Structure 1
């Protein structure tokens, strides 16, 4: 008997099943056929929602990046706190092992996935950080002439520290905050 589901529910099911299989088997060894078989649907149904495995994966990256950016809660603090307070209390790392796609992005077979996720999160953060800097300029807390360059540097400049596997989460957090305080003369 065929089980009918709402389109968004089916799309999410395909996405989550794909990410589970990518974590188990690796991206290269997982096919759309494998995903359809695991769910118990026709392969064509998967293609209706995702025309290719690459598009399916890009959708997962974007979804997970949105989740991580939202967990940082920067959007809500854009006008509410000073830059100094925001940096002091910010969580540099927002991922944890209970996140929906954590296993896929932290699987040794999928190292490239994590790098792509980093870049997607950065792309989503730059406009938020630019707005924070703009507000800091407006309040007189900051005096930044090239807001976009500073925003890009603040976000993308963290990648080297975040990718350093010799540092603990606490050490990464401390180093990034120190750099930001120095950068903004706070």
Structure 2
């Protein structure tokens, strides 16, 4: 059966020689638990539709989809693209991109550590390392909290990359829609007086 399936897929690809690797989409885990009820629709990595470091997210309507930054990435308007938080990205040497408190626009901030390292409890620690979080259970890594866009020990989860619930269900901090003012706040149903 597997051989027939492989042959069938191969014939389709040969017949449609216009297909490239950029037209294939890969489903991603939804990191925002408030959005998992979108009729079983999940974000998709679709490079033919979205820019680098972006995913294709389900919107509010049945056929509504939008490109936006991956979780833990920040939209930088000057370059019109998404960059990983606490990494050099579009910044100068010895700087990294961060989202200041009470701001929607990320800024480049001096980083005394090398790119990929951050100051954590007074020393330079590698992002993605378990060493700074060794007393945590379940096991955790030093990473960007996709909800607060700050550093923290994020628990490892092998089924879903993150089980962090976003405080802002419609637009995570630092995403493209948030920076461009396109977030749609949740509204309470209107009560009509009879």
Q: TM-score, normalised by structure 2?
A: 0.28
More strand by share: 2
Q: Which has the higher contact order (CA 8 A, sep 6+)?
A: 1
Structure with greater proportional helix content: 1
What TM-score results when the alignment is normalised by the length of structure 1? Answer: 0.28
